[in-house]
Chain A
Amino acid sequence: MTLTTVLLMSVPLALLCLLLGLIYKGIDRRLGARMQARTGPPVMQPLRDIRKLMLKENIVPKHAVPWLFSLMPVVALGSTLALLMYVPLFGQAPLLGSYGDMVSVLYMLLIPSLTLVIGGFVSSSPYAVVGAQREMVTMISYEFPLAITIVAFAWLASVAAPGSAAFAFSTFSAVPVWSMTSILGSCGLIILFAVMIVVTSGEMGAVPFDAAEAETEIAGGLLSEYSGRNLALFYMASAVKMVVLGSVIIALFLPFGISGYAGLEGMAAQAADAGFFLLKLFAVIFAASTFPRVAVPRLRITQIVKMYWVYATAAAIIGLTLIGIDVLVEAI
């Protein structure tokens, strides 16, 4: 892909995914309300919220570090939009796929969370500082099971498809992981899939893992001092991040299209795959955000750490072991 196509494609893609993320947030809220037997806000509600926030006064607290405080929301949105260039979306290869792989995406996924942490620390509010510390602890916690999952994938790719780039998304979109393993390995993959969904919940800051933002106990935590435009930017960043995280899971575990089964070709096939991608994204967001939000109350920060470091890590190691046994048995 040449530089001009990348430049031409990136802006519409970013806008589309921003809109998509906000609409998915609206669906998430509406669906959550329906699950609680409420009517819920219209699906367009997040767009209205953004429009309103843009018109509100933008307050920078007196004791904050003004330039860092105002810079962080911009960096948050910018870095999540940049991430869109590295993950496969709508059943297509990523725009800058040849420049980044799974590992770089994982590192870049830390940036939006880090901006939240820095924004919290410089906003001079004790609530924000507590929120920032909790966010850091959450980040450290989910990193470990996530790393195990990535290692399992790289190992599988290096054994099952030798010669291909072990960390590239394209390896897994060409050959779905499920076809790389037999029954035992598939069990391992299912466990890793569940672990990844839980990790994604944490990365999204969805409710059981939102101790950093807990608005009922620490007044909105990290974001407690942000208002107006800055808050809108953080809100949009979290919407885009939802799309990115969903696409990462889809790229790793559900890289299937339906055009092959429907016997479509050309443009029709691409459109069908893009539509199917939206459906898969909805399923992932439902599983990682809407369902746990309605089903489980907020965990304490100690419980979050235990959840990830003990249970999720143990599950991930079991998954990795199953896949390892499977690979070794196949090799014999």
Chain B
Amino acid sequence: MKAKALNRSLWVFHVNTGSCNGCDIEIVAAMTPRYDLERFGIKLVGSPRHADVLLVTGPVTRDMKKKLKLIYDQTPDPKVVMSVGNCGNSTGVFYESYNIEGPIDRIVPVDIYVAGCPPRPEAIIDGVVKAWKKLEEMKKK
């Protein structure tokens, strides 16, 4: 029941943990008329308190580590974390940099990884569909 209610109304909060803005622009592109994520009931919200999905981009700089944890805790359950972009998945081009604490799954549990530098909007939409599937699995358990 829980998951069923979620899968057609996902509110997304976008966290930038030090990304180069490439991924962020692709997320915004997914909301534009060409891809229009809103037709699936997906909406960008301004506060983690309203969110069901945390869309995290960037390799997590040292400064953002605490804040990412805080934002994760501020999000009400049930929630899904999506890591968008190679930076978040594996720290990408910032690999082994001295001020990087990432990748994201070292700091908060990540449910869905979207690869690409930056990923195309189609890939992000695909990731959201996977989020639904994940929630449906949660429902079965």
Taking Cβ atoms with an 8 Å cutoff, the residues of A that contact B are: 29, 33, 36-42, 45, 48-49, 51-52, 54-59, 127, 214-216, 218-220, 223-228, 231
Contacts and interface: CB of A to CB of B under 8 A. Distances in A.
Contacts of A216: 46
Contacts of B45: 215, 220
B47 A57 contact: no
Interface of B: 1-2, 5-6, 8-9, 11, 32-33, 36, 38-41, 44-47, 49-50, 52, 74, 76-78
B39 A227 contact: no
A49 B42 CA distance: 10
B78 A56 contact: yes
A33 B41 contact: no
Leading 4 A-B pairs by shortest Cβ distance? A215-B46, A57-B76, A220-B47, A227-B49
Contacts of B6: 52, 55
B135 to A, nearest CB: 11
Contact of A58 (B8, B40, B76, B78): B76
A214 B47 CA distance: 11
B52 A52 contact: yes
Nearest to B49: A227
- Per DSSP, chain A at the interface is loop
Contact of B76 (A214, A218, A227): A227
A304 B11 CA distance: 28
A72 to B, nearest CB: 15
A231 B45 CA distance: 13
A42 B5 CA distance: 15
A220 B41 contact: no
A228 B47 contact: no
Contacts of B52: 52, 56
A293 B34 CA distance: 20
Nearest to A46: B9
B10 to A, nearest CB: 8
Nearest to A218: B46
A49 B41 contact: yes
A257 B8 CA distance: 39
A218 B78 CA distance: 24
A46 to B, nearest CB: 9
11 contacts: A29-B38, A38-B33, A39-B39, A40-B38, A41-B38, A49-B41, A56-B76, A214-B46, A220-B46, A227-B49, A227-B50
B9 to A, nearest CB: 4
Contacts of A224: 46-47, 49
Contact of A59 (B33, B38, B46, B76): B76
